[in-house]
Structure 1
Amino acid sequence: MGVTGSPTNINQGTRTKGGIGESTLRPDGILKVTGEFAYSSDMWHEDMLWGHTLRSTVAHAEIVSIDTSEALATSGVYAVLTYDDLPTAVKNYGLEIQDTPVLAHGRVRHHGEPVALVAADHPETARRAAAKIRIDYRELPVVTDEASATAPGAPLLHEGRDDHHIGHVPHPNIVHRQPIVRGDAEAAKARADVVVSGEYVFGMQDQAFLGPESGLAVPSEDGGVDLYVATQWLHSDLRQIAPVLGLPEDKVRMTLSGVGGAFGGREDLSMQIHACLLALRTGKPVKIVYNRFESFFGHVHRHPAKLWYEHGATRDGKLTHMKCRIVLDGGAYASASPAVVGNASSLAVGPYVIDDVDIEAVALYTNNPPCGAMRGFGAVQACFAYEAQMDKVAAELGMDPVEFRQLNAMEQGTLLPTGQVVDSPAPVAELLRRVKARPLPPERQWESAGEHPDVRALPGGLSNTTHGEGVVRGIGYAVGLKNVGFSEGFDDYSTARVRMEVIGGEPVATVHTAMAEVGQGGVTVHAQIARTELGVSQVTIRPADTAVGSAGSTSASRQTYVTGGAVKNSCEAVREQVLEIGRRKFGTYHPAWATAELLLEGGKVVTDGGEVLADLADVLEDEAVDVELEWRHRPTEAFDLRTGQGNGHVQYSFAAHRAVVEVDTELGLVKVIELACAQDVGKALNPLSVLGQIQGGTLQGMGIAVMEEIIVDPKTAKVRNPSFTDYLLPTILDTPTIPVDVLELADDHAPYGLRGIGEAPTLSSTPAVLAAIRNATGLELNRTPVRPEHLTGT
């Protein structure tokens, strides 16, 4: 990994080991790789019951009757709950729109919707009892796409909806609509020498985290409940859970348990309310752990999309205009669809300068599986389409695709189609230059093994389906634009409590936030920030829970920016209080206490010239400093619902990829050889973690390019492949070489100049792979994932 760029300003603790800018190791790393880490599915409690959810076997139906008598009569069963057993008048939940029933009532709207709950003394007893529940369904017509959703007389998925989006959508089966209009795209089209259009299809992707949904609810003596759960957003869960239980929020105490990956799939509730309901009904702890089949139905997925794009350009390669329409399938319930629409529309133009645009994005209600947050949401689908368009326009003009992109690349100061100015570095052209300049991997690597070819390097790999005949190489490029943080006027903040005290004669800092550590490495970075700001080597990270203020969601590449900012802010306040204690105790003995810039480094108070004034342990002695503060980034505003104008985003991130693939054109097999990435991260707080995030996001984007897709039957809206046998994921054998070039161009508006990094590489890796396959085969390939039949015509 190469790291270059301008220096960023770090005021404190530059000589304290393990601070900002170092590749410190994760505190949970060894436990995870040795199998000793405790995930939420590992939790146990005396006298614990097991919960199970019965799910609908059809996608759209009226519930005529439910008979639970045989299940209740099963030995070992303690409770069976349906909608009629819910304790309060609040029976729905949702991230923004409360349209999701805790348990289905009247009808089911998607395959796998929860209908009943069972608690028993053994997980298999609970499953067998659930299978004895008799449900009589009267099937209804299914809505599966835009045509069926908006046709005259189409079934309304949510009759009488009264959410705040209903006033600006053209049909009740449209969740949200956002246009972005700037300039006059139709007039600009007349100035174009070439006009290129395309229709694109993006498949439904699963987050495919390795740890399925799980949690443990324990009833408490005060009538409340303690919930230990794997989630992405503790306080959002709390806000949705408490009203359904009929409890004040302070009686629903939530603690984060070990999370086995998330990628957006844990932002919505899954088993949280169900476990709490069963625990409160039985008076016993209840544990729920989904198997992989249940997990496919228990969380939202990435929105599949249909996208239409049109671009024009002059003969010298300048883009004249862009028009597009993006249709996202949100499935049966809203989840994060409004925010996904906002991202897809506002980022639809990509990292390019185009003055005249006409953009529309909508999300549908259908009977397909609910879709919501997934890494890079909205921007991923758009990037796939606009990058394919860039290659098409460049080919039409006879230009090099990278040079064409560089000619039209945005930079700092560019005015976006929303009217927002990009006011931090935007090195789009430089990122493309770097990936293009990188040496190419050797061709026909399988032949390097001599007499016996290394089949792992061939398309098809260890299946040994080809020996290299008909294998051709392709190279493709792509670059993407992603927002960082929550947008459109959302009050996006985080809270951190920092305590500094002397324990065993040594100064120790304790950091407490509600940030969900889902594998991104926040627990590492928070300790680095505390060491940097407080100059101590010993930092304890307390488990995340709702006893401290909200940290928001671990999503939108926001946690290092926002919760890292909160930790920094609280540490600075602690530092000032510690120095004030020192001035009170020692200030009269040394004039530097009053006149010098004082720093905390290596457990000591020092001047900016390096003179040691006191040990921190002597300053604090029996005193402790404890600070809890909220921290907010600069405000955003909602996009205008007619024009899409508004300063809707906090920050932007950029990544570029070059993909090298080898394709057996006779068998339709693809081997991705290399996915080189260049990304601006502002400041690499932990270079090793940065590398892991970029490589992980790159591989996730590759997955949707060549193998990952949830298949939904278009006639019945049933999921056809809810298992890792049939839903294909990249393994280590599919993983290409992923060299990474990191730029550090500071964003002056962000803590330490950092830039959120986790999502950007997921955008550009997908279209780069598709571009390389097109380059190898000459085929148009306007959908993801690419399957063998798309390459062979069979």
Structure 2
Amino acid sequence: MSTATGIRNGVGESVRRPDGRLKVKGDFAYSSDLHADDMVWGATLRSPHPSARILRFDASRALGLPGVVAVLTHEDVPGHPLYGMKVADQPVLAKDEVRYQGEPVALVAADHPETARRALRLIEVEYGIRTPLTDSEQAVSGEGPRVHAQRVDGKDELGNVVRHVRIRHGDMAQAERLAEVVVSGTYDVGMQDQAFLGPESGLAIPAEDGGVDVYVSTQWLYDDQHQMCSALGLPPEKVRLTMSGVGGAFGGREDVSVQIHSAMLALHTGRPVKMSYNREESFFGHVHRHPAKMWFEHGATRDGKIVYVKARMIFDGGAYTSTSQVVIANGSYFAAGAYEVPHVEIDGYSVYTNNPPCGAMRGFGAVQSCYGVESNLDKLARALDIEPVELRIRNAMTTGTMLPTGQEVDGPAPAAELLERLRDRPLPPPGDGAFGLPGGLNNTTRGEGVKRGVGYAIGVKAIGFSGGVDDRSVARVRLSLADGEPVAQVHTSAAECGQGIVTLQAQIVRTELGVQQVTVLPADTQVGDAGSSSASRISWMSGGAVQGACKALKERITELGGDGDLAQILVVHGPLEEEYEYSHRRTYPVDPERGQGQAHIAFAFAAHRAVVEVDTELGLVKVVELATAQDVGKAMNPLAVEGQIEGGSAQGLGLALMEELHVKDGTVRNPSFTDYLIPTIADMPSVPIDLLELPHPDSPYGLNGVGEPPTLSSTPAIANALRDATGLELGRVPVRPDDFTGTGGSTDTDDSTGPVRS
């Protein structure tokens, strides 16, 4: 097959995203911009209580309001009343009880959004309020009420523990004899929100065949479809989903939000139904990052060789399962960090409480455990009187290192090189002018009491689905002629959430087929499943499927006489199309007793060095620089790769210093961007990026996942820099100003900070 020369914007080039200019100008069409003729608006009545019985429900006044078309309750769910990503335990609409503040109780459809909101206020619900379970430690111990009264043969089968992950590797008795220095500490992580800027929204249109067409922003069209079909009592061919414009995701769009509710209203009313959350409702309408309570212990020899790691972690999953089982698994798998650790004892618990449901967020459990292990490693460095970065390099894992799960790392593992590159980078100069000082342009300080600190951290995370999940992705590529020139169309169900998969698919087709004009069709359920835009997998999996379809086309063209001109081949034979399903090697679940197994397909590494300046009198922090080094395998689109690394670092900074959803007695106290703070341009430091391109042997083009790893190491690097500057324990993120001034209080109560065994 001969291809045109001079093809531009292929693999390895920095290609601008087609949606970039539209988003900057404010012209991009998000799912909240959708419209259809004869459309009505849907709205959700949510529980104000974290735990209560529903004693009485009366919608008569709402139904009497002019413009109200329908009010639906649990009795109107046409199919299965429960849904969920991994376990169907969440009611489509609450029946007899509510288990968290914000749980959906009823739906309203009206001819105007304000009418729908007024109707919600007219619905009368009488609740029998119960004492909520909000302490995750009590959930593990069995104290307090059961969030779910699940009984099997008259016995309480689960209690409030969703999953206990138990990992045992090596010989801990021998390890404790070998360890000459032991340190331990407790570390807490607050509840972080994905804080995407485009709230949940979508449009459902009833179809003549009795089905429904839904246009929605999501991370996984097919998983949404699966849950919708169950709840609606319809077969997949009658529940058709199309991706609409997504205003950010970061894990928060993996669980369904408006999908089932809008479709129920559309099927009930026979009219298109649009649902769009406001910012406050969005905080209740999606899962959050699991808050965590963690205890870590490191044992080492006096020359700084880590002998063992012990860890106990409790992740608060809130009222329903979502992805809590796999989040705690992921956190537990990597609780020993990016290090060679021969002996490991890890216990990870995810639990039910009456707090808001938690699930997927960028880093997926490994963020929490990375913060714990990296914080305790700095404590070990102080006890050994070894520079923290040198201790890390001395123990860094390499290719062939055995993980706590008994699996060897068989791809590139440049942990030491990443740390060395950061160590050797010159430190930035002091801040220039008032803006460069803690407090910025508020002029709250002139530099008195400002101390500088430097902190390092490195993270490792699995790429792709793990633990026996059959990870596959489908793509369809079509070649045809337009004005006498070959053009290509790509069709997948891969969700474009801002990470650039649309751009990447076109780059692959240009590279493989030598066709300049490439159109990426809207993602929908009319082509095979591409899987979720999560786990840093979509470039690998969907990219592999597109590459496979292109290679199949090239083989077919060769069979048709491909030494000739491609345009002429298409003239003679007409359009050509191939579909390809890509899969990788099989993974397996770990065994429940010792947590051993071949659970992963690949690993990604990222490291950060944070330089901070702290006004210790006022508790103000300025992150001066957040340098990072990361192995990306192959920078498929270098500009997009850098954007992902900068974005992940920004979210890590947010978790370190400001982002926390405050929940007291099960009630959310700050559901707005006025009170839930996210980093702005004034908060972000310089982020120098050092890219390594060590091709992975199993992936398309040698690429590796890049989106999640920066979020792992950025938070503990900043926390370690703060400890370096102040000498304080700072056992909780986000770190607050009063943690520096002594009016707050660290949760780190451990006093085992030095040598305890000779």
TM-score, scaled to structure 1: 0.92
* Equivalent position amino acid for 2:88 in 1: Q
State the secondary structure of the residue aligned to 2:542.
helix
Displacement of 1:13 after TM fit?
8.9
C-alpha offsets along residues 336-390 of structure 1, whole Å, 9 cap, x if unaligned? Answer: 1011011011111111001111111110000000000000011000000100111
C-alpha offsets along residues 141-163 of structure 1, whole Å, 9 cap, x if unaligned? Answer: 21112343245563221212679
Q: Does 1:779 align with 2:758?
A: no
Q: Does 1:533 align with 2:512?
A: yes
- Tell me how far apart the structure 1 counterparts of residues 519 and 140 of structure 2 sit (CA, whole Å): 55
Matched ranges for 1:314-463 at <5 A: 314-446=301-433, 455-463=434-442
* Equivalent position amino acid for 1:379 in 2: A
2:755 corresponds in structure 1 to none
Displacement of 1:503 after TM fit?
1.6
Q: Does 1:619 align with 2:565?
A: no
1:750 corresponds in structure 2 to 699
Structure 1, unpaired ranges of 5+: 1-10, 447-454, 584-612
- Tell me how far apart the structure 1 counterparts of residues 125 and 534 of structure 2 sit (CA, whole Å): 38
8 A contact 1:185–1:323 mirrored in 2? no
1:33 corresponds in structure 2 to 24
State the secondary structure of the residue aligned to 1:388.
helix
Q: Does 1:20 align with 2:11?
A: yes
State the secondary structure of the residue aligned to 1:533.
helix
State the secondary structure of the residue aligned to 1:539.
strand
Displacement of 1:198 after TM fit?
0.5
Displacement of 1:202 after TM fit?
0.5
Q: Does 1:294 align with 2:281?
A: yes
* From 670, 674, 687, the counterpart of 1:721: 670
Matched ranges for 1:562-573 at <5 A: 562-573=541-552
* Equivalent position amino acid for 1:685 in 2: M
Root-mean-square deviation over aligned CA pairs: 1.6
Matched ranges for 1:554-593 at <5 A: 554-583=533-562
* From 465, 468, 488, the counterpart of 2:447: 468
2:756 corresponds in structure 1 to none
Q: Does 1:688 align with 2:639?
A: yes
Q: Does 1:44 align with 2:35?
A: yes
2:582 corresponds in structure 1 to 631
C-alpha offsets along residues 684-739 of structure 1, whole Å, 9 cap, x if unaligned? Answer: 001000100001101100100000000000xx210000000000100011010000
- Tell me how far apart the structure 2 counterparts of residues 670 and 146 of structure 1 sit (CA, whole Å): 30
C-alpha offsets along residues 473-508 of structure 1, whole Å, 9 cap, x if unaligned? Answer: 111000001110110000111100111112210111
8 A contact 1:13–1:532 mirrored in 2? no
8 A contact 2:486–2:517 mirrored in 1? yes
2:125 corresponds in structure 1 to 135
Displacement of 1:615 after TM fit?
2.0
8 A contact 1:185–1:322 mirrored in 2? no
C-alpha offsets along residues 111-137 of structure 1, whole Å, 9 cap, x if unaligned? Answer: 000001000000000000011111100
8 A contact 2:243–2:523 mirrored in 1? yes
- Tell me how far apart the structure 1 counterparts of residues 9 and 143 of structure 2 sit (CA, whole Å): 64
1:85 corresponds in structure 2 to 76
1:762 corresponds in structure 2 to 711
Change (3 A) 1:387 1:410: same
Displacement of 1:625 after TM fit?
1.3
8 A contact 2:137–2:314 mirrored in 1? no
C-alpha offsets along residues 264-305 of structure 1, whole Å, 9 cap, x if unaligned? Answer: 000000111110011111111000000000000000000000
8 A contact 1:497–1:511 mirrored in 2? yes
State the secondary structure of the residue aligned to 2:622.
strand
* From 663, 685, 702, the counterpart of 2:653: 702
Displacement of 1:579 after TM fit?
1.6
8 A contact 1:211–1:259 mirrored in 2? yes
- Tell me how far apart the structure 1 counterparts of residues 5 and 585 of structure 2 sit (CA, whole Å): 27
Structure 2, unpaired ranges of 5+: 744-758
Q: Does 1:54 align with 2:4?
A: no
State the secondary structure of the residue aligned to 1:180.
strand
8 A contact 2:140–2:349 mirrored in 1? no
Displacement of 1:187 after TM fit?
2.4
Change (3 A) 1:439 1:721: same
Q: Does 1:740 align with 2:689?
A: yes
Displacement of 1:79 after TM fit?
0.1
- Tell me how far apart the structure 2 counterparts of residues 649 and 415 of structure 1 sit (CA, whole Å): 12
- Tell me how far apart the structure 2 counterparts of residues 461 and 119 of structure 1 sit (CA, whole Å): 48
1:493 corresponds in structure 2 to 472
State the secondary structure of the residue aligned to 1:614.
coil
Q: Does 1:207 align with 2:207?
A: no
- Tell me how far apart the structure 1 counterparts of residues 3 and 644 of structure 2 sit (CA, whole Å): 26
1:155 corresponds in structure 2 to 145
Matched ranges for 1:184-263 at <5 A: 184-263=171-250
8 A contact 2:162–2:352 mirrored in 1? yes
1:506 corresponds in structure 2 to 485
8 A contact 1:350–1:386 mirrored in 2? yes
State the secondary structure of the residue aligned to 2:327.
helix
- Tell me how far apart the structure 2 counterparts of residues 316 and 267 of structure 1 sit (CA, whole Å): 45
- Tell me how far apart the structure 2 counterparts of residues 151 and 769 of structure 1 sit (CA, whole Å): 33
Change (3 A) 1:659 1:542: same
Change (3 A) 1:114 1:13: farther
Q: Does 1:271 align with 2:258?
A: yes
- Tell me how far apart the structure 2 counterparts of residues 521 and 435 of structure 1 sit (CA, whole Å): 28
Identity level (%) = 59
- Tell me how far apart the structure 1 counterparts of residues 227 and 632 of structure 2 sit (CA, whole Å): 34
Change (3 A) 1:280 1:766: same
- Tell me how far apart the structure 1 counterparts of residues 523 and 151 of structure 2 sit (CA, whole Å): 36
State the secondary structure of the residue aligned to 2:470.
coil
Aligned pairs, how many? 741
8 A contact 1:578–1:620 mirrored in 2? no
- Tell me how far apart the structure 1 counterparts of residues 64 and 444 of structure 2 sit (CA, whole Å): 55
Give the 4+ runs in structure 1 shifted more than 6 A.
Answer: 11-14
- Tell me how far apart the structure 2 counterparts of residues 513 and 773 of structure 1 sit (CA, whole Å): 45
- Tell me how far apart the structure 2 counterparts of residues 55 and 146 of structure 1 sit (CA, whole Å): 24
1:5 corresponds in structure 2 to none
State the secondary structure of the residue aligned to 1:395.
helix
The worse-fitting range, judged by mean Cα deviation, of 141-150 and 770-779 is 141-150
8 A contact 2:198–2:248 mirrored in 1? yes
State the secondary structure of the residue aligned to 1:190.
helix
8 A contact 1:215–1:271 mirrored in 2? yes
State the secondary structure of the residue aligned to 1:684.
coil
8 A contact 1:12–1:533 mirrored in 2? no
8 A contact 2:407–2:599 mirrored in 1? yes
2:747 corresponds in structure 1 to none
Change (3 A) 1:57 1:529: same
Displacement of 1:624 after TM fit?
1.5
The worse-fitting range, judged by mean Cα deviation, of 625-634 and 360-369 is 625-634
C-alpha offsets along residues 186-210 of structure 1, whole Å, 9 cap, x if unaligned? Answer: 3201111100001000010000000
Displacement of 1:470 after TM fit?
1.2
Change (3 A) 1:152 1:671: closer
1:113 corresponds in structure 2 to 103
1:601 corresponds in structure 2 to none
The worse-fitting range, judged by mean Cα deviation, of 371-380 and 501-510 is 501-510
* Equivalent position amino acid for 2:115 in 1: T
